[in-house]
Amino acid sequence: MAKMYYESDCNLSLLDGKTVAIIGFGSQGHAHAMNLNESGVKVVVGLREGSRHTEKAKAAGLTVLPVAEAAAAGDFVMILAPDELQADIYKNEIEKNLQEGNVLMFAHGFNIHYNQIKAPSNCDVVMVAPKGPGHTVRSQYVAGRGVPSLVAVAQDYSGKAREYAMAYAAGIGAGRAGIMETTFKEETETDLFGEQAVLCGGSFTTLPENGVTIVNDQDNRIVKVDRVDKLQMIKTFNTQVDINMDLALRSQIYEEARQTIGITDSMQGRKDPTATSAVAKEFSAQQAAGRLESKRVMKRAMYQDLFEAIFKWMLAYCDEPRTIRRTNEHGDVEYITFDRHDFLYEDESGEWQYNTDFLFSCDSATPLASDRQALWKETRMNFQEGAMGNTAEITTLLRFWEQMEKLHYPMAGDMVKSLRDQMESQQAQQAAPNGVGGTELTAEDLLTMAAQQGGGEMA
C-alpha cells in the first residue's frame, strides 16, 4: 500500500532564500503562486507580454516578469502553462535561462514522459501534481486545509530532488491533506486514461476551407458558403465513451486465469453446469456451500478492515471534535462526540502518538443472533405463551417490550416509556385517597398500538 506523507515529513525551510518562478497564472498557476507566497516563499510570475492575467497577478501582490526573465530569476521553475504550449515555451524562453542546480518542475508528466521537453542533465526534474482543480487548491489552502498531491522525481542532479518536491508540495498546502509518491510514467498514463477513456465524449463539426460561421442574437449558428457543393463538407460527428473492449479483454483474461488455476463454478459458490451425475452434483453442492461460508468470513473480515480504516481516517482528519450518530444497545439514537485528542498517548521517548491499537471485529456469535426478525418472533411467542408472566398484567407487558427494545425493535423504546408512565400514573392514583381514575388500556390494546407504531404486525 502506498505511503502517505504529511507536513511533518516535509522541510519547507529548504525553500528559504530561494525564488520560485511560476510560469503561467491560470487555474493551477494562480493557486500555486498565491499559496507559496502566503507560505513565506519568494515568488515571481512569468507571463507573456499582454497576458490577460497580468493585472490579476499584480493585484495579488506578486511580481510579474516576462517568461524569460522569470526563468532566469528562479531557482525553482514550475511550468504551469497548458500542456500543448509547454514545449514551445520551454525551448524559446526557459531552456537558455536555466542554470546548474535549478529545479525544473511540472504539475503533469506528459511533456517529460513523452520527450517533448528534454531537460539539461545538470538540473533536477520533479513533479508536484495536486489532485484537484486550481480553484480548489486555493480555496482549501485559504480554509486551512489542502488538496492531496502526487510527487515524482525524473532526474535527481542535486541529490535533494525528492526533498525539494516535498517542500514545494507543503508550500501549496498539500502536506495538510496527504502527499503520495509516484512516477512520471504512472501519473501521465493514468491521467490520460481518465481523460480519454473515461471522461471523453462530445461532438465536432467539419467546415469547408472558406466557410464562415456566424452566431446571431438568437444563438443560432449560421454557416455561409460560396458554392452549393460545399454543403456536403458540413458534417457533425458525435463521439461517445466506449470501454467495451477493455471490459471484454478483462473478462477474457479472467476466464483464462480460472481455467489455468482450475477454479470451477462450484468452488466460487455458483451452480456448476458441468456436474451431471449424482456424485458430481453432491460434490458440487458441498464445494459451493463451503465457498459461500468462506465468502461470509471474507465479508466479515472486509468490514472489519473497513471499520478500522474509517477509525484511522477520523484520527487523521478530525482536527475539530466531530459529532457522530449511533444506536446504543437499547435501540436508542445517541449523538456522541469523536475527538481524536482522546486517543493520544505518550511513548517512551516523550513523543505524543495516536493510539490505533484497537480490535475491530464483525464476527457474529450465532446465526440466530444476526436474525432480528427470528428473535422478535421467538420473543413474542414466549410472551404469548406466558413465559414472561400473566399477559394481562402491565408489568409483563413492560418486561416484553424491554426485551424487544434490547433487540432493536422499531419504536420499542417509546413503548417502554409509555408503559412506565402509565404504571407511575396508576401507582399515583392508587396512593391518592380520593384519586380519580382514568380509562386504563389493557395489555392487548397496548400490544396492538405498538405493532401499529412499529410499522405493522411483527414478523
Place of cell 456522541: 336
**CA 409 and chain centroid, separation:** 34
Nearest-angstrom CA–CA distance, 288 and 283: 9
Quick count: other Cβ atoms within 10 Å of Cβ 316? 14
Nearest-angstrom CA–CA distance, 227 and 224: 9
- CB neighbour burial string for 171-208, b if at least 16 within 10 angstroms, e if fewer: bbbbbbbbbbbbebeebbeebeeeeeeeeeeeeeeeeb
Q: Which residues contact 387 (CB under 8 A, 6 or more apart)?
A: none
Catalytic residue among 30, 108, 135, 341: 108
Exposed (0-12), middle (13-18) or buried (19+): which is 451, by Cβ within 10 Å? middle
CB of 72 within 8 A of CB of 53?
A: no
The DSSP 8-state label assigned to residue 271 in this structure reads -
Known active-site residue 108:
yes
End-to-end CA distance of the chain: give it in Å, rounded.
46
> What is the number of residues in the chain?
459
List the catalytic residues. 108
